[in-house]
Structure 1
Amino acid sequence: MEALEVMKKHRTYRNFDENYQLSDGELKKILQASRQAPSWMNGQMYSIIVIKDREIREKLVSLNPGNPHMLHSSVFLVFVADLRRTQKIAEHYGVDYPISEGTDPLITAVTDAALALENAVIATEALGLGSVVVGSIRKDIVEVSKLLNLPEQVLPIAGLSIGKPTVEMRVKPRLPEMAVIHYDTYQDYDYQLIADYDDTMEKFAEARETKIWSKKFADYFSNRPNQEVDKFLKMNKFFK
């Protein structure tokens, strides 16, 4: 039940006590929990970059100034989809490694990395600390990869700032259950459910939001997807 309560009370924190230092024991617990996440065939096709170095974190913020917590949190983790390890295995056995001929290996590795990330979030909150997931590290994916010395076939998925929160946050409302949960087959639903959620979020009145929920995503997806990710995937031999 304690685990269920932790997950039900999930909140994102962006303001951290700069003087708080995560202990080695706390960090180890978070990383152990992360490594115990489920993965396809127990392949564990991800890696975690633990970034304590202030200079590296300053460079990350310079690339992504909208997320200063990457520097001010106690530690910053970067979760990467890692197909380099299985490449090493293929080389060891002298077999082909045609991952660039389809998307399924990449989907598998991204899923493994995401599951490990979520375990880290839950473990962080179980320790009474806070975190924020940073997907925007992919905005400057080439520069971030060079900064972290990532080899080919390793893809940054998201970062995670962890620390002691200084600002209390409320639990954010989620979409109506009928818009998300389907039984046996996918069931279409009326747009009114989305309109109702817009109303719920307007009443929630999160200070950082400047648009209603649906308009935020209408505007976001009206633009072309981040082309840097596509270039990166080809450059690093995920695709031909």
Structure 2
Amino acid sequence: MKALEVLKEHRTYRNFDENYQISDDELQNILQASRQAPSWMNGQMYSIIVVKDREIREKMVALNPGNPHMLHSSVLLVFVADLKRTKKVAEHYGVDYPVNEGLDPLITAVTDAALALENAVIATEALGLGSVVVGSIRKDIAEVSELLNLPEYVLPIAGLSIGKPNVEMRSKPRLPEEAVIHYDTYQDYDYQLIEDYDDTMEKFAEARETKNWSKKFADYFSNKPNQKIDEFLKMKKFFS
């Protein structure tokens, strides 16, 4: 498939053929495409954990039962922000490594991981397969980190379940362009655009949604952010 077609037709799949096994060539093509993602200064401050072990995946689903596809897909990739590699470099040269004194290194590593993740999504769809990004692995971030034996300076960002879809999905409508695209400077917009999008998504009628788009995020952000993330960042030396 042509790149633009793949990008414009993106959709998320959550149901996979459990009998389908991704080939080694397919997996390597996805991983190679992922590793060619752009990164700050070519720092590549991420790592990819390829999770095939059924027991590990069962434990991840036990922590996150709303995402059974982590077990039923052909493979689960976990993308992590990785500042451990540059810690090794600092130790090699005998220089300080004060990454816990500001947010910029963390933002850089998270961005690198996200770019690699998106390349994997595109490559997966170009191969005629499907995927779903699993950001909720951060809900139990310490337990997931222990399962995957992640060292200090390594932060789980998201999983990616990949497989052969067995339920067709529609391409989900996006926010109106006027609410997202800004030229030259950020420009405010009328709230009516958000209400219009609520109507669009209501007509789209995704079965798993129980609230309209705006109410879902009003409720989500009315709660205090997940404090486990803050605790984990300190434990893993991202913050002093």
Q: TM-score range by the shorter chain?
A: over 0.9
Q: Distance in 1 between matches of 2:107 and 2:7?
A: 25
The CA deviation string for residues 44-67 of structure 1, in whole angstroms up to 9 with x for no partner, is 000000000000000000000000
Poorly superposed stretches of 4+, deviation over 3 Å? none
Q: Distance in 1 between matches of 2:57 and 2:127?
A: 23
Q: Which amino acid aligns with 1:191?
A: Y
Cα shift at 1:109: 0.1
- Aligned twin of 1:201: 201
Q: Distance in 2 between matches of 1:10 and 1:210?
A: 23
Q: Distance in 2 between matches of 1:227 and 1:5?
A: 40
Cα shift at 1:142: 0.3
Runs of 5+ in structure 2 lacking a partner?
none
TM-score (norm 1): 0.99
Q: Distance in 2 between matches of 1:9 and 1:128?
A: 12
- Aligned twin of 2:170: 170
Runs of 5+ in structure 1 lacking a partner?
none
The CA deviation string for residues 192-217 of structure 1, in whole angstroms up to 9 with x for no partner, is 00000000000000010000000000
Cα shift at 1:178: 0.4
CA-atom RMSD, angstroms?
A: 0.6
Q: Which amino acid aligns with 1:202?
A: E
- Aligned twin of 1:72: 72
- Aligned twin of 1:136: 136
- Aligned twin of 1:181: 181
TM-score (norm 2): 0.99
Cα shift at 1:102: 0.2
Instruction: Indicate the SS of the match to 2:223.
Output: coil
The CA deviation string for residues 94-147 of structure 1, in whole angstroms up to 9 with x for no partner, is 000000000000000000000000000000000000000000000000000000
The CA deviation string for residues 156-179 of structure 1, in whole angstroms up to 9 with x for no partner, is 000000000000000100000000
Cα shift at 1:185: 0.2
- Aligned twin of 1:21: 21
List aligned pairs for 1:33-182, cutoff 5 A.
Answer: 33-182=33-182
Instruction: Indicate the SS of the match to 2:233.
Output: helix
Instruction: Indicate the SS of the match to 1:112.
Output: helix
Instruction: Indicate the SS of the match to 2:168.
Output: coil
